[in-house]
Chains A and B, each alone.
Chain A
Amino acid sequence: MTATLQTPPATARPVIAHVGVPGLRLVRSEFRKITTTNAWWLFGLASVFFTGFALFINMSEAAQHLERARDTAAVFKPGRGMSAAEVAAARAEFAQLHDLPLQAVNAAGNIFTSGQFFGLLLVMLLGALVITNEFQYQTATATFLTTPRRTQVVFGKLLAVLGLGFVFWLVARVLSLTAGLIFFDNLGLTNSLGEWPVQRALIFNLVAYLLWALLGFGLGTLINSQIGAVVTAMIIYLGGFVGAIGVFSLIREYLIHEDWVLTSAVMMPSIASQVMVSPEKLYPEAAAWWVGVLVLTGWSLVAGAIGIVLNRRRDIA
């Protein structure tokens, strides 16, 4: 072989240290994957924008409600021709609308969880992208060469997705708490942060962020096609609520005339989520909040588990 003339002299092989905590290496890698593309700031910007927009709407609405509640001059006047029962209902509603502490708590719950609707959609889509990006950009080869045990890869991504859900929740909440505290301070009202209904709203807001991120991730694991996973996620989230209530009402009306039909609508993820975050019953037949948590977790687990089994057998070509 004449090539030895051109070959540089053999150098000593480099000593490459082992770094990182074994269980967390993959999580770290996933975080770097997210933060080294445009996705994080595009999604972050969208999240900040929608939170701001929702804050504006919620605070305008709250300002009106609080002004009405503070109007001590208002007097209840029953409408003409009302029955005794109707008068009683109208009186109760009037009392609620003019109950300042109640209105303040409701306003706080809304303002402090502002941006939840789009925030949840965004973390779900991000959860789906974390896994479908690997197939979209053919990085699955490099990823699975580095970590041939594919289930480990999925769990690394899972932890990263939960972390992302938490970060998005935190940013939205820091914004809404700052704006909300200024709002209540200006009105000279309590911010109600000491009240359980408000604390509950914040906690379940976090749970919802985590569970929707998880659901998006489960979908991405199951449907590796990026466009397929994103469209499915959008349909489940946006179409789910109105569609599901409609379908279950029709079944109740025409097929099975039982109230449990309406209760079982909680099996749809979007309804489960609403059932979970609502302090009061979403509708009279609605299931308890914890059923919502179980349903959302259940869907994520089912989609994720099927996805993992498929991924273990899948040919990466």
Chain B
Amino acid sequence: MSVSVPDTASKQHKGFRLDLKTAGPLLALILLIVLGYSLNPLFLGEGNVTNLLTRSAFIGIIAVGATFVITAGGIDLSVGSMAAFIAGMMIIIMNAAVDSMGASIWTVLLGIGCSVILGVGAGFINGFLTTKGKIEAFIVTLGTMGIYRSLITYFADGGTLSLNSGAREIYRPVYYDSFIGLPYPVWVFIIVAVIGWVLMNRTAFGRYCMAIGSNEQVARYSAIKVDRVRTWTYILQGLCVSLATIIYVPRLGSASSATGVLWELEAIAAVIIGGTMLKGGYGRIGGTVIGALILTAIGNILNLTDIISNYLNGAVQGVIIVAAVYLQRGSLGRRGRKAE
């Protein structure tokens, strides 16, 4: 058959390029670590590594959820303000609980439970509006982003909501304590990432997300309940936001209108740097984890050295994001042309 000739030709190319593509983010991270170490050996000091991992947990957990949303062809801009809103609500609820029944482990568990309910509910609202309401995800989540951000500002009366000190004392270890040498937030990140990976690569749900993001019509004609799967991606995203908030609140014990600002962009950036395609159809949880580590490492390295001002953190991150997407599109463009 005539098709066999281009098939073999492309196969040799592809084998090489595909490896580069999947390994790309990992190589970048290794490079960054080597760079960080050579600039300041403290970079690989035990304290700094733990600190870096803990910091990356917030964005990383949210980004795992975002990987599903983006893979299925959606986008969620509301995660940052959703986190701030949930944090604020948790504090309000826990403070009220302390007032009525005193500070105990149950106060904290109540806060955590409410956080999960709020996250799942907020995710469902985003999903419902995009699928049943047939409004573009960008618009829906731009709207809910504004709503949550202004609600937290309103509840905090423009200032800061602080957790009752008694409750904080009980809650504090969730962020600051460790288990087998790793802080709890890192464990949460690891567990979320592992579950996310299994869900994406070893279940029908993950396959459906990729199919929908790749071509919604094909998915529909293949008996996939497109709306239901899409809605679940937003619910997962909401759940991830609530988990991130649960480990974030004990860190400062407060929430304000400045909480979680630009987290949505950092989460999306982590997903994209990790090799997931923004237009959907191809998702990599492992890449997302590495993406979150890369973003945190950049800030960390800038903190440890004085070659580039720490104020330029955003600029460096921006360059990395654009470069990552450029490389992605470059290899895609070649593929697209060949297919024609």
A and B part of one assembly = no
A residues whose Cβ falls under 8 Å from a Cβ of B: none
